[in-house]
Structures are given as structure tokens and as C-alpha cells.
Chains A and B, each alone.
Chain A
Amino acid sequence: MPEVSPEPHKPAGTTTRSGCLPPDEGTPAAPVELEDAVPQPSRVPQPSRVTTDPTRSSVSAKATVSVLPVARQKPGPAPSPDPRRSDVDEWGRSEQVRAIARRLYDPIYRYWFRVEWDGLEKIPRTGGALLIANHAGAVPADAPAIMHGIERDLGRPVYGLADYFFRTVPFVGTLWSRTGGVPAHPDNAYRLLHDQGQLALVFPEGTKATSKTYTDRYRLRRFGRGGFVEIAMRAGAPIVPIAVVGAEEAMPILFRLNGVAKALSLPYFPVTANALLLGPLGYVTYFPAKIKIRVLDPITFDVEPGLDRYARSRVMDETERIRSSLQEALLDMLRERRSVWFG
């Protein structure tokens, strides 16, 4: 998934952009519990967890939040109070689809990856924040794990910003969008963070990270052009770095077939250890690596929000600072790790 590239952007001031309805306005959305999404192509079962599952009722209660309003009915001669037939919001996310995805993914989250969080309380409970994380694996296991965990335990939806490429893939693109994926356009990120106060997850390394081979594991790639820092500055939102250990081993890439990728017009075509063992099934099956997630301290910038451009040097410095602190956290977590499979 790519970095958000910097782009001049007109601040909206205090007004809310139309169409993008601010949260908590308009149709009072049913309180629903939210969770996780799948910003990737074919992977094992979809993320998920059951709202109605009695064994998890305590979490359900905790994780109650209003979803984005879908349609604000304007006063006037509109024919009927709410002509909407689905709950797909303006980003394409649907709570119904997510409920199914939750149910499917939750067992994987709990029993396959046995995801463990450290510092989850550092993620803001209200307001916009840009979550950034390291990215790994041919079909990355980190994004759904992060999104699922936050939505499950904090009850906040997370929008996963990802490559435009997903939009072009039939079925996968639609599913990705319905489960909370949003194309990583700087304007989309700004609206989510500033206008709507949502959590957005972005992987600043982009596909440079997911296409790297196993020999380069846990070595962070370049953080794009620092677009994510610029957007956080503009939106006045904090950046919350998240270090993930385990996703590298869940689907390690042994080597890449560039010719095949070109022929299929894919960003990369990996040959994974999973695929060598299991054949094509390997592209949808992860190794049961233990996933550990550590949330670092949120970073806020003392700059004036809403500007079109920020000093290049400052943006690049901040980018590098965040990158090295994330790298340091990863190395630290690896020092503490005794086993790939048991943590």
C-alpha cells in the first residue's frame, strides 16, 4: 500500500465539505460495533467478529459507536424520509458487510495469529489520527490485524488507505471498499482526518515493503515522500506509529517474478514460502506466526494546520524521525522475541 503523496491542497477552513457528511450529523446511525477490514486481495477468511456472539458481549458493549452517517435527508419535497436501501457510506464502507467480515476474521485474529497489543490505550478515542505502521508479507497480514484490534477494543472504525490498484480489481476492489478500504488520495486522507475525525491507517512504505523479500525482513523501506506527515500537519491530526512483528513471517516472500507481474499487470508477483509448500493455496494461507503490535507515543506537530504546503525540510526531518523510531521499536521487539511462532 502506497504512501500518501503530497499534493497541494486547499484547506476547507471550518466548513464541512458537502457530500462528506460530518460524523454525528444527519441520520443517527444505528449504534454498531465496528471492526477491522481487509485492504488486500485474496487472503484467508475475511476479518471479523460477531456482534451478537454472547461470549463477546462485554466487548460489544464497549465497542459501541456511531457509524458514519450514510445519507442526510434534506428538508424539502423529498419523496420519502429515507430512500436508502443499503448502509454503504460515502467511502464505500458497509457495516453489514463488516459484520460478516468480523465474524470470519475474529477466530483467525485470536487463534491463528494470537494478536497481542502493547499500548493500545495510546490510540486516541476521539478525533482524527493518522496511524502508520510497518508493512510486510506478500498479502500483508498486518493491516487487518491492526484494524480489527482497534475496532474491536476501542469501538472505532479504521479506514485503511491503500493503493488505487485495488479499485481496478473486480470483486476484490468492491469487497475491499465495503470493508473500510479507501484509495490513498491525499484529499481522501485529509477529509477523513480533518473533516470527519476518523482514524486512518496508512503504510508509508507502500508496496516497497510488501514486495521485499524475506532477507530484508524488519528493515523499513523509504517512507515515501513524507506525504503522510504533510497530511497530518495540514489536518492538525496526530500521527500514531505502530510497530508490527510477526507479519513478516506469516507470508514471507522468497523471490519475485517480475516478468509474470508485468504480464498480469500486477505491482509485483511474489513467490512465497507458503506457495512453495501449499501451491496456489499458499497465497491465501498464512503461517501461524505470533503477531505482536506495539503502539508508540502519538506525535503532534506544532505547525499551523490548513496550509497548502509545509517546509520540505521539516516534513522530511519528521518523516525520518518517525521512521527511525519505528525501526528502533521493531528491533527492540525482535530482541525480546524468543520464538517466531510463540512470541
Chain B
Amino acid sequence: MGRRVLITGLDTFWGGRMAQALENEPDVEMVLGLGVNEPKVPLERTEFVRSDQKYSILNRIVRATQVDTFVHTFLETNSVSVSSRMLHEINVIGTLNLLAAAGSTGSSVEHVVVKSSTHVYGASSNDPAWFREEMHRTGPVRTKLERSLIEVEGLVRDFAEDNPHLNVTVLRFANVLGTDIVTPISHDLRRRLLPSIAGFDPLVQFVEEDDVVRALKFVTENDIAGVYNVAGAGKIPWTEVASIAGAMLLPLPPVRPRLFASGLIQLGIVRMPPEMEDLIRYGRGVDTTRLMEKGFEYRYTSAAAVESFARANNLRRSIGSAEPAYRYEQDVEQFFRHSPAVVRSNEG
């Protein structure tokens, strides 16, 4: 019997991407996606279940479908897109309920994969050049996003301790750039105006969106447990990010930079979430040896991830968004998946 995988946040970028990636795997028997909204990407065989971000029906779903793997991609890793109240609901409460369902008596779940972020390390002047997974952050927790992600990881750690028979994986991803993903940084790069702090040119890491999906898939398929950093090789200065992406730097004063940028942030010209302030002052590097030792191979370095974004952005600038928007039609999807009229070659 193949894997039966449940993905959270099917309607978000990562959930959709992950579902698409798992659909192509013959040894994944069933892919089930939870989402607040309808999926935004075309899916072949993934079953979509509408659910609130608190996963109140998750216990029933697990019992009914006997899923063996949770891929928890629905964690907000930037504080621009949602309010802080919602951030807490999605990240902390969502994870809490998800883990409760995974650990309930008689649960069929054997593996839980959580997509976290290197924001848990923060960024401070006392940081080592490279954080290994077991190192602790050196600076105080200043932003709501970091606090929420740290709380999530705490829940996951406790869960792993309480359920030693389960595989629990946490992947901490560096800032993502790529052809399609929209993040606060990619938003600013698209506008060709990148906030920076005058006098600081920190070294940063990026991971390409394809490598993110590949890493999630890699740990899911190979039943790899533990905490892993995921980031492209090498570090590049912030100024070089701007130059590769063809963006202009917007130097903000070293003292209270967000205050000075607040007008531009309000107007939506730049997005500079609070968690970015220390990042563009001190930068951050994470050591990715541990996952590579397990056999994972990156396709993109940090610089290549920025380049990948830049090339896609050039194309977008010339011809606009390449693909027509996809719309999920419940009836159509149900027909193709379940109607006896559809001939399914892989059956029987």
C-alpha cells in the first residue's frame, strides 16, 4: 500500500506545489488537501476538502481516510499578508490542532512534516556566520512572526518527544525566491525598489522555490525525521541581491528604519515586514550540511535563486503573467475523479 498524504494549505502556494509534486509519485496512493479556499493550481488526483484554519474536522478526516503522513505547509512565514491575530490562529492554533489529530489514539499518522522558517534564528550582531540546527538564536525575539514560529516549533518539539514512535520533521527554509512565489522581498524586487539600511550590507541566503518543494518531498518520501535547515549554498550581500534582480536600493537611516519607511509601507510601495529589519541589518546564514548528508541535493545556490527570480521577472515584464489563471470547478473536478464514466488506465 502506498503513502496516503494529507497536505495543509492546499489553496496556498506551497500546498498547491507540494500536491502537484506528490501526484506524480506512483508510490503515493492518495493525496488529500485541506484548504480554506479552493485550490489555485490545477490538480490531477488530489482530493480537496474545505476546512477552516483550525482544522476542526481533521480528526474525522484522519479516521475516515487513514492518512499516514501530514505535510504541514500552511504556516505563515511573513507578517505582511495577514493580521497578527490571524497569524496566531493559523500558525499556533492550526499546528496545535493538527498535532492533536496526529497524536490522537488510534491515529494512522506516522510522519509529520512541518515547513518552518529560518526566521526562528532571528538576526543579530552576535550571531555566528552559520547557524546549525541545534544552535539557539542570540538576539531577543522582537517580532510577532518570530514569536509565533518559535511557538510552533516548541509545539512540534513537544509532540515529537511525546510520540517517539512517529517521524517528526521540521524544515527551516531560508527566504524563498523563484519564478512564481510572491514574498515581501520578491514584491519589492518586482517594484525594483529594495529597502536597505544605510551603512549595512549584510550577507543573506535564499532558497529557490523548486528546492523548497523538492526538500519537502525528499523528507516525506524518505521518512527523514529531525530538524533541518534548507537554504541555497553560499551567501550574497544584500546590495548584490538588488543588482542581480535589477532593483534600486532604498537606503533607510540606521536608526528606526521602519519608522522612516512607514509612509512607503502604508502606500504599499515597499513591503518591509518587521522581521526583515534585522535581516537587512545583520543578515543570516544557516548551515545546510545536515540535510545534504541525508542525500538531498540542491539545484540552486543562493545567488542562483535570485537569478531565477530575476529571469522570470524579466519575462513577466515583457509578456505579463505567462499562464492563464486557473479556476477550481467543484463539479468538474468531482466528475474527473469519481464518475464511473471516466476511464482510469491505472486501475484494475
Q: Which of A72, A167, A170 contacts B234 (CB 8 A)?
A: A72
- Within 8 Å CB of A90, what residues of B? 129, 203, 234-235, 285
B243 at the interface (CB under 8 A from A): yes
Report whether A84 and B285 are in contact in the complex, using a CB–CB cutoff of 8 Å: no
Report whether A18 and B289 are in contact in the complex, using a CB–CB cutoff of 8 Å: yes
A126–B76 alpha-carbon span in the complex (Å): 47
Q: Which of A19, A76, A164 contacts B126 (CB 8 A)?
A: A164
Report whether A88 and B289 are in contact in the complex, using a CB–CB cutoff of 8 Å: no
Report whether B234 and A19 are in contact in the complex, using a CB–CB cutoff of 8 Å: yes
A76–B303 alpha-carbon span in the complex (Å): 14
A174 at the interface (CB under 8 A from B): yes
The number of chain B residues with a CB under 8 A from chain A is: 48
Report whether B198 and A170 are in contact in the complex, using a CB–CB cutoff of 8 Å: yes
Report whether B128 and A185 are in contact in the complex, using a CB–CB cutoff of 8 Å: yes
Report whether B304 and A78 are in contact in the complex, using a CB–CB cutoff of 8 Å: yes
Those of B203-247 within 8 Å (CB) of chain A: 203, 205, 231, 233-237, 239-240, 243-244
Interface hub of A19, A20, A168 (most chain B Cβ within 10 A): A19
A47 at the interface (CB under 8 A from B): no
A17–B287 alpha-carbon span in the complex (Å): 6
**Nearest neighbor of B308 in chain A, beta-carbon distance:** A79
A324 at the interface (CB under 8 A from B): no
Given the interface contacts A18-B287, A74-B233, does A83 sit within 8 Å of B130 by beta carbon? no
Report whether A19 and B203 are in contact in the complex, using a CB–CB cutoff of 8 Å: no
- Within 8 Å CB of B301, what residues of A? 71-74, 78, 83
B293 at the interface (CB under 8 A from A): yes
B160 at the interface (CB under 8 A from A): no
- Within 8 Å CB of A82, what residues of B? 303
Q: Which of B126, B130, B240, B285 contacts A88 (CB 8 A)?
A: B240
Instruction: Tell me, rounded to whole Å, the shortest Cβ–Cβ distance linking B230 to chain A.
Output: 10
Those of A156-188 within 8 Å (CB) of chain B: 164-165, 167-174, 182-183, 185-188
Q: Which of B201, B289, B300, B310 contacts A78 (CB 8 A)?
A: B300
- Within 8 Å CB of A84, what residues of B? 236, 240, 303
Instruction: Tell me, rounded to whole Å, the shortest Cβ–Cβ distance linking B189 to chain A.
Output: 14
Q: Which of B134, B199, B289 contacts A173 (CB 8 A)?
A: B199
Instruction: Tell me, rounded to whole Å, the shortest Cβ–Cβ distance linking A326 to chain B.
Output: 28
Report whether A182 and B129 are in contact in the complex, using a CB–CB cutoff of 8 Å: yes
Instruction: Tell me, rounded to whole Å, the shortest Cβ–Cβ distance linking A30 to chain B.
Output: 17
Those of B243-301 within 8 Å (CB) of chain A: 243-244, 254, 282, 285-289, 292-293, 297-301
Given the interface contacts A77-B299, A90-B203, A173-B200, does A12 sit within 8 Å of B244 by beta carbon? no
A15 at the interface (CB under 8 A from B): yes
A12–B289 alpha-carbon span in the complex (Å): 9
- Within 8 Å CB of B293, what residues of A? 15
Report whether A187 and B128 are in contact in the complex, using a CB–CB cutoff of 8 Å: yes
**Nearest neighbor of B282 in chain A, beta-carbon distance:** A167
The number of chain A residues with a CB under 8 A from chain B is: 45
A187–B131 alpha-carbon span in the complex (Å): 9
Report whether A21 and B128 are in contact in the complex, using a CB–CB cutoff of 8 Å: no
- Within 8 Å CB of A185, what residues of B? 126-129
Report whether A20 and B130 are in contact in the complex, using a CB–CB cutoff of 8 Å: yes
B163 at the interface (CB under 8 A from A): no
Those of A59-106 within 8 Å (CB) of chain B: 70-74, 76-80, 82-86, 88, 90-92
Report whether B129 and A78 are in contact in the complex, using a CB–CB cutoff of 8 Å: no
- Over the window 92-109 of chain B, the binary record of Cβ atoms lying under 8 Å from chain A Cβ atoms (1 yes, 0 no) is 000000000000000000
Given the interface contacts A74-B233, A86-B237, does A191 sit within 8 Å of B304 by beta carbon? no
Those of A188-213 within 8 Å (CB) of chain B: 188, 191
A10 at the interface (CB under 8 A from B): yes
Q: Which of A85, A167, A171, A187 contacts B240 (CB 8 A)?
A: A85
Instruction: Tell me, rounded to whole Å, the shortest Cβ–Cβ distance linking B322 to chain A.
Output: 16
Report whether B240 and A86 are in contact in the complex, using a CB–CB cutoff of 8 Å: yes
Those of B119-134 within 8 Å (CB) of chain A: 125-130, 132, 134
Instruction: Tell me, rounded to whole Å, the shortest Cβ–Cβ distance linking A116 to chain B.
Output: 34
- Within 8 Å CB of B240, what residues of A? 84-86, 88
A168–B297 alpha-carbon span in the complex (Å): 35
- Within 8 Å CB of B236, what residues of A? 71, 84, 86, 88
- Within 8 Å CB of B288, what residues of A? 18-19
Given the interface contacts A90-B235, A174-B201, does A18 sit within 8 Å of B292 by beta carbon? yes
**Nearest neighbor of B293 in chain A, beta-carbon distance:** A15
Report whether B125 and A164 are in contact in the complex, using a CB–CB cutoff of 8 Å: yes
A174–B235 alpha-carbon span in the complex (Å): 15
Instruction: Tell me, rounded to whole Å, the shortest Cβ–Cβ distance linking A74 to chain B.
Output: 5
Report whether A70 and B287 are in contact in the complex, using a CB–CB cutoff of 8 Å: no
Report whether A74 and B304 are in contact in the complex, using a CB–CB cutoff of 8 Å: yes
Report whether A187 and B130 are in contact in the complex, using a CB–CB cutoff of 8 Å: yes
Instruction: Tell me, rounded to whole Å, the shortest Cβ–Cβ distance linking A300 to chain B.
Output: 26
Given the interface contacts A71-B301, A167-B282, does A79 sit within 8 Å of B307 by beta carbon? yes
Report whether A83 and B125 are in contact in the complex, using a CB–CB cutoff of 8 Å: no
Given the interface contacts A20-B287, A168-B125, does A74 sit within 8 Å of B203 by beta carbon? no
A57 at the interface (CB under 8 A from B): no
A16 at the interface (CB under 8 A from B): yes
Report whether A91 and B129 are in contact in the complex, using a CB–CB cutoff of 8 Å: yes
Report whether A170 and B233 are in contact in the complex, using a CB–CB cutoff of 8 Å: no
- Within 8 Å CB of B231, what residues of A? 19
B197 at the interface (CB under 8 A from A): yes
In the A-B complex, the 9 residue pairs with the closest CB atoms: A170-B199, A76-B299, A83-B307, A171-B199, A167-B125, A187-B128, A18-B288, A78-B304, A185-B128
- 7 additional contacts, CB 8 Å, given A79-B311, A91-B129, A185-B126? A10-B134, A76-B297, A83-B310, A85-B240, A90-B234, A174-B201, A185-B127
Q: List 22 A-B contacts (CB under 8 A).
A: A10-B132, A18-B292, A19-B130, A21-B233, A71-B233, A72-B233, A72-B301, A73-B304, A74-B233, A74-B304, A80-B304, A83-B244, A90-B129, A90-B234, A92-B203, A168-B125, A169-B199, A170-B198, A182-B129, A183-B128, A185-B127, A187-B135
Interface residues of chain B, those whose CB is within 8 Å of chain A, are 125-130, 132, 134-135, 197-201, 203, 205, 231, 233-237, 239-240, 243-244, 254, 282, 285-289, 292-293, 297-304, 306-308, 310-311
